[in-house]
Structure 1
C-alpha cells in the first residue's frame, strides 16, 4: 500500500471521526425515530397534517424534529417556541422553504409570501405597509365594500322572499371574492346564483388544497421532474386560470394609463391603481408578472366556518344580533368605523380565527444558519413549521379548546396582530401577513351582513 493510499485512508477516517463526533454533539430536538430513506413522512398521515403534527407534539414536545425524506424539519407547537422562531431568531429564520406547488408558473418569484427576504420582498412589503393597507387607504375604499355588502343583503332578502334555500358556503365565497376583487381591481369576479361560481370556487379551493398537500417531490428532490402526485401540474392549471383572469384587467388598465390621452383617464379607487401609480412614478420597476403574482394572495374559508358556527349555535347568533340592534339599530348598515363599538362581534371573529385559521400551519420558514432554540440545535437549511392550529386547540392555553366560545375574548386583550403568540393566525415578525387589516375588516362586516 503506497503512501498516497495510506494518506487518503487516514484522511477519510479522520473526516468520518470528526463528522460522527459533531453529529453526536449536536443536540437535535426530540422526535419520532425516522425510517430508512422515507424518514418520518408516514407520520404526516394522508390528510390534515396539522392534526398529525399536533398529536405528535403531545409525545415529543413543543419543539420537534422530523426527517421528511431528505428534508430536516423542525415543528413548533407552543407560543414559547413560536416566539423563539418568529421574534427572537426572526432574522435567521425569515426566509422560506418553497414547495414545488408554489413554484408553479413561477409564482414564488412574485409573491410576497414566498419571496426571500431580499430587495424585491422589501419593495412589496413597503408597498403594502405604506400604500395599500394603511388606515387612510382602507377608509377611502370603504364605499366599494359597502356596495358589495348591500348586494349580499339584497340577494338574501330576495331568497327569503321567494323561499329559496341559501347555500351559506356559496354566498360567503362570492361575497369574499367580490370584496377582494373590488378592492383590488374594481370589477366583480363572480355573481350570486351563476354556474361560474362553482367553477371559480373549485379553482381557488383546488389551489389551496394543492398548496397544502404533503408532496413527495418536496421531500425527495430527485422526484421533482417526475411529479409523481401531479401536484405541480395541478397547481399550474389552477394558477394559470386565475392569472389569465388578471391578464386582461391589468393589461388594459396599464395600457390606458400609458396612452397619451391618459391625462383624461378617470382613476379608479382600487389597489391596482395605487400599484400602477407607484410603478410609473417611482423606481419600483415592477413587471406585469410581478403585479399579477403580487395580487394573487389567497383568501380563506374562515368566513364560511364562522357562519357555520353561528348556525350551529343559535345563542351566539342571538347575542350578535342583540349587540347590532343595541349599538347600530335595526335595519341599519354597519360602517367600518362602527367595528370598535361591537365587542361581541369582534370576539366572534377572533374565535373563528382561533378555531379555523386560514392556514393551520404557517408557510414554512427556513433556517439560514445553524441556530440554537430552547437548548436544541436547529440545523442550517432546516424547514421550520409553526403549527398555529395546534396552539389554537391547546387545552393548556384555552379552556374548552374545541368549543366555539366567543366569550373567551371578552375578558382579555389578546389580539392576532403578532404579539400574543398563542394566537397568531396571520403569523408574526417580519413575515406577518401584510393584508391582515383588510382581512379583519372583511371578516367582521361580512359576518355582520
Structure 2
C-alpha cells in the first residue's frame, strides 16, 4: 500500500509541478482567513499534508496530537481537513455541533454504481436517510427483532466452533500442529450471520457456489475501499481516476450487485409462490420497493441492492476484526484469559455452552469487550464528516465543506480521559457506567450523534456471544512458535482495521 501511495503522490506531484511553481511566483500565501484555524503541521505546495498521513493514518494523527494539540488542521491536497482527537473535543462536537457537521465526505471509490446515494452511512441527511434510519431501527436493529433472531446467531457461532474443531483435528491427523487461522472462521461466521438475517441463507458452505462468488467479490470491494486514492484529495481529478481505484471498484461492486440481484429475484419469486418462510430484512425492503414507486417512502431496485451490500460491508469485517483483537489481547496476557475463563466456569459451568442470557451475568467478559473496542475501534477515524456551513468550533473558524475526522483510536488513548491509556486493562470498566452507545464521548467506537452506527445492538450480541464461546469451548495456545511477548499486534488498513498478521492459534476442545 505504501508503494502504491508513493507512486500516486509522485504522479500528482509531476502533474501539478507547473501549477505549483506558478502559484509560488504569483504571491506569497496570506495568513488572512487562516489565522483562526486549528494548529497543524506545515504542508508542501499542492499536496499539502498528504505525506504526513503515512500508511496507518490514525496512528500518525495520534502522534501529531502531542505536538499540535487535540484539534488538528491539515490540507490534504485541495481538501481542508480538521481532526478531532480528544474526549473533550469530541464532547463539544457531538453535543453542540452535531448538526453543523452531519454531512458526509464520500470517498470517490464509493460513488461507484451510485453506492453513496443509496447507502445509509453515506447518504445526506434528508427524507431518504430518515426512511432508512426508521427501517433499520424498526425492522433490523430493534430489540424485539434482535431477540427473534437469537437462534441465527446461535447457529452461526455453533457452526464456527464446529469448523474450528474439525479443521484442527484434521490437521493433527496429518501430523501437523492443529493450528488454525482464527480470522478466517470469524469472518465466515459474521458473513453467514448477515446472510441469514438479510437473505435467510448461509452464503458460505460447500454447496453454495454463488455464495463463494459473492464472498470473493466483496473481498475485492473491501480492498478497493481501503486503498488511498489521489482523487479524494484532488476532486478535479476524479474524471481521470489516476490510480484506477474507481475503475476497479466499478467492476467488483458490479459483480456483487449482479449476485445480489439474483438473490433478490429468488426471494421475490418465493414470495409470489407463497412459500412459508421466516420474514427477513430483504422482505421488508421488497415491500418498500412495491406499489409506491416514485413516492417519498419508495426504495428503488438499485437501492435495494445497495442496502443489502452495505449491511455486509458494515457487519462482517468490523465484527470479526473486533473479536480477533479481543482474543489476541487475551492471549497476550494469560492472566486476563484465566480471569475470563474462571468467570465463565463459575456462571456457565463446564458442561454447557454460553447462551446470550448468560452475558448479563458476565461483567468481566463485558469489560473485555469494552476494553477491546477502546483500543481497537473497527473504524478508527469513523466515517468522514463534512461541515455544512461556516462554524465556530472551540474558538476556531471551520469553513463550509471542511472534512472532519473523529479519531476514535486516539480518543481511546486520550491521557486526559484514561489512566494508563496504552495498556489493556478490562478492570477499568468493572463498576464503571462508561458505555459505547454514544453518550460517553471518551469511548465512541460506533460514533455518536445522529450518525451513530445503527447496528450497535446486533454487533453487541454477536461480539459477546462469539468471544465468550471461543474462550469457554476451547483452551488456546499460540501457533507458529509465537509467545505472548512476541505476538505481532501491528495493524493493517481495510474497510476495518485488522491485525497485520492474522491470529494463528491451536484450539483444544473443552465443552461438548
User: Which TM bucket (shorter chain)?
Assistant: 0.7 to 0.9
Q: What is the alpha-carbon distance in structure 1 between the residues aligned to residue 111 and residue 244 of structure 2?
A: 13
> Taking structure 1 as reference, are residues 200 and 227 closer, same or farther at Cα in structure 2, changes over 3 Å only?
same
Match of 1:95 among 103, 120, 131: 103
CA distance in 1, matches of 2:301, 2:380: 31
Change (3 A) 1:197 1:349: farther
CA distance in 1, matches of 2:99, 2:397: 16
SS in 1 for 2:405: strand
Which residue, out of 225, 233, 239, partners 2:253? 239
1:364-385 alpha-carbon deviations (Å, 9 max, x no partner): 1111110001100000111111
Identify which of 278, 281, 285 aligns with 1:275. 285
Relative to its length, the structure with more helix (as a share) is: 1
Q: How does 1:39-438 map to 2 (within 5 A)?
A: 39-45=48-54, 47-162=55-170, 163=172, 164-191=178-205, 203-257=217-271, 259=272, 262=273, 264-280=274-290, 284-297=297-310, 298=313, 299=316, 300=318, 301-438=321-458
Distance, in Å, in 1 between the alignment partners of 2:212 and 2:298 is 37
Q: Say how many residue pairs are matched.
A: 425
Change beyond 3 A, Cα 1:248–1:204:
closer
Query: 2:307 & 2:381 partners in 1: Cα distance?
Result: 21
5+ residue gaps, structure 2, are 1-28, 173-177, 470-512
Q: Please give the per-residue CA displacement for 1:39-87, whole angstroms capped at 9, x wherever unaligned.
A: 1111112x11111111112211111111111111111001122122223
Deviates more, 1:307-316 or 1:186-195: 186-195
SS at match of 1:265: coil
Q: Name the counterpart of 2:508.
A: none
Runs of 4+ in 1 over 4 A off after TM superposition: 19-22, 192-206, 278-283
TM-score between both structures, scaled by the size of structure 1? 0.88
Deviations 1:136-183 (A, max 9, x none): 000111111111122122223334544243221111111111112111
| SS of structure 1 residue aligned to 2:241 | coil
Q: Structure 1: 5+ residue runs without aligned partners? A: 1-18
* Matched-pair contact (CA < 8 Å) for 2:98–2:450: yes
Q: Post-superposition shift, 1:340?
A: 1.2
Is residue 59–residue 410 contact of structure 2 (8 Å, CA) maintained in 1?
yes
TM-score using structure 2 length:
0.77
The answer to which of 159-168 and 113-122 deviates more is: 159-168
Cα deviation for residue 294 of structure 1 reads 1.4
Query: Post-superposition shift, 1:205?
Result: 4.8
When residues 245 and 330 of structure 1 are mapped into structure 2, their CA distance, relative to the original with a 3 A threshold, is farther
Q: Which residue of 2 aligns with 1:7?
A: none
CA contact (8 A) 2:289 2:301 kept: no
**Greater shift after overlay, 373-382 or 49-58?**
49-58
CA RMSD of the aligned region, Å? 2.5
